[in-house]
Amino acid sequence: MKQTSNKSGAALSRWGLAALALISTYLLFHGAIVTRARSLLDPYSFSGDALQHIPPLWYAHERSLFSLDYIRDYYWKALFPPLFKATYWVVTLFAEPASASKIVSCALSILFVATITRTSYVLAGRSSAFISLVLATGGTLKNFPFMSGLQRGFGTWLCALMLLLVVQGNILGLCTAIVLTAMFYPAAAVFGLTALGLILCLPERFLGRGAPWTIRRRFATMGLCGVLTSLSVLPQLRAGSLYGERLSIEHQQEFAEWGPLGRYTQGDRGVTMPFWQKFHDNTFSSLMAGKLGRSKHHPSDDEASPEVPSPQDALRRNFLLTIFASLVCALLLARRTGGRLTPEVVRICAYLTAVGVSFAAATLLFPLLYIPTRYVVITLPALVPLIFPALWTGAVGVLWGSRAPRLLEPAAISMGMVALAFLGWFSLAIKPMPTASGHRELFSVIKALPRESVIVGWPRGAITTVSLFTGRNVLLHEEAHQIFHRNFLEECRRRMRAIIKLYSSPSQAAVDELRRDYGATHILLDRKHLKNTPSYFAPYQDEILAARAAAGATSLYLEQAVQDATIFRLQNLILIDLTKLPPAADNRAAQLP
């Protein structure tokens, strides 16, 4: 009877601590949660990455749209893995792509936090799980706009899942997760294979459930997992090859889009970036984002002197002190164990080593293994909220010893909360996602157009949101202007130069070419661009400047088109119906009696 009572008390204690963790997390991040919830409830809120990856999912929502858009075809066939598409086949049965991406984002966020919390519990107990729940929730809230239901979001959660399997020593489960990951986000599968290979090289006492395996079975497992993973990504690679040679920074002499003024930043272009720099960027910047985000302090030149430290300097100091204190905690734990590492810790070290190895291999083989910095971006969100709480709570256990064992958990949790408060983690400043709600009337008009409509506009600005919220074709917009395959990039070049001609031509010829070559039916024009030269990345900025200079003071044909064929106005935005303009000169000649 007493034993039953003890079990009931333990169960109540466990559930009570879980409830306390959830309530505390909500209270700590109440403001951030409310801000994020408002963005979710706004049907027109979005993140920048969603503008390129979510519009092609209209193919899953409305099958009649298939093969109407070259750009969306490219994304659907060459860039989307099969299980990513399958997930949206299901979710878009109930919601349009923009809303579906929010549903998927919520699911991924919940799964990520739950997975990290479970991993921390397995590794270091309930106190560590409590702190990991808080840390992982804050990180997920901060990075929510970047997940957006994208492949990267799946990759981040799947890396967390693989970390859980590593801690559990579940080698077969890890192999299964790697193969599935290849069909969601192949870069994460490459990392998973690297981690698996390192773990299988460990002595048998560190292999967990794989301890009885022979060397032959280890090699066979690694080989089979690698073959299945390769077969999983082969269809996507073959589809990509249909769009020509794979390009990289080595082609920047031929394609200025790959240069420093081009489409991507240094890390995304494959420019060599030290691993520790990226590690620092992804840990330090995230941990200190709260206070920096809230600060409105902009020091003047005088304030930038060494005598007056900036908020960033203070937070960097706090971060470094926290790292130092965590290393001290690690030393305390090492002393207690006599320097003997547990199998779980050894496997985590192998997992962490795999991050650096994957980063180095992707840098060396770029672009074969995708963007090197992605291997840091998708793995650290799982490692940081696991390792730090485990070290802190473990150190408390060493220092506390056997004194008042019932107070051990509160003491460990208190230390973790103090550490997070020291880092400003409880004051996370969460910015709302951008919203296009002011354009809802425009979207309603465009969505009512025939499905084969093609909208032309300058690739920056309102045009970038049209495909996401209407499903209608856009000739080109910046977020979809990819530079990874030669044929696709050359097609984007042709389209961009046709747009430049439209925005600098005094005659109707540019409109006629767009109608003839691309089936253009409408122009979405920002009136500011009639007088001011719009901007874009290299090499097109120089080209539009030269084209406008060549046109001189001559009026642009777009001004005449505004007068003759405008069907909708919304502030500076004007929608022009090209069917209301005169037919092309060669067509007029054919119509003469």
Neighbours of 23 (CB within 10 A): 10
- Range list of H helices, 337-482: 343-365, 374-377, 380-400, 408-422, 440-447, 463-470
Q: Reduce the DSSP state of residue 524 to 3 states and report it.
A: strand
Q: Do 246 and 485 contact (CB within 8 A), yes or no? A: yes
User: How many Å separate Cα 22 from the centre of its chain?
Assistant: 26
In single-letter form, the type of residue at position 592 comes to L
404: left (phi over 0), alpha (psi -120 to 50) or beta: left
Taking the C-alpha atoms of residue 456 and residue 226, their distance in angstroms, rounded to an integer, is 44
Which of 134, 64, 145 is CA-nearest to residue 101? 145
Q: Note the pLDDT of residue 554.
A: 86
* Phi and psi, residue 566, nearest 5°: -70, 130
At residue 585, the 3 state secondary structure works out as helix
Please identify every stretch of the chain with a pLDDT value under 50, giving residue numbers as ranges: 1-2, 4-9, 287-309, 588-593
Evaluate whether 291 touches 427 at the Cβ level (below 8 Å).
yes
Angle at alpha carbon of residue 133, lines to 128 and 139, rounded to 5°: 120
Kindly tell me the burial class for residue 208, based on how many C-beta atoms sit within 10 Å of its own C-beta (0-12, 13-18, 19 or more): buried
What integer pLDDT is reported at residue 306 of this predicted model? Answer: 41
Q: H or E element: which one contains 20?
A: helix 2-28
Nearest C-alpha neighbor of 159 from the set 177, 137, 138, 141: 177
Query: Taking the mean position of all CA atoms in its chain, how far away is CA 344?
Result: 29
For residue 575, which of 439, 438, 435 has the smallest C-alpha distance?
439
pLDDT for res 337:
72
Amino acid in position 318: N
Single pTM value for the model: 0.88
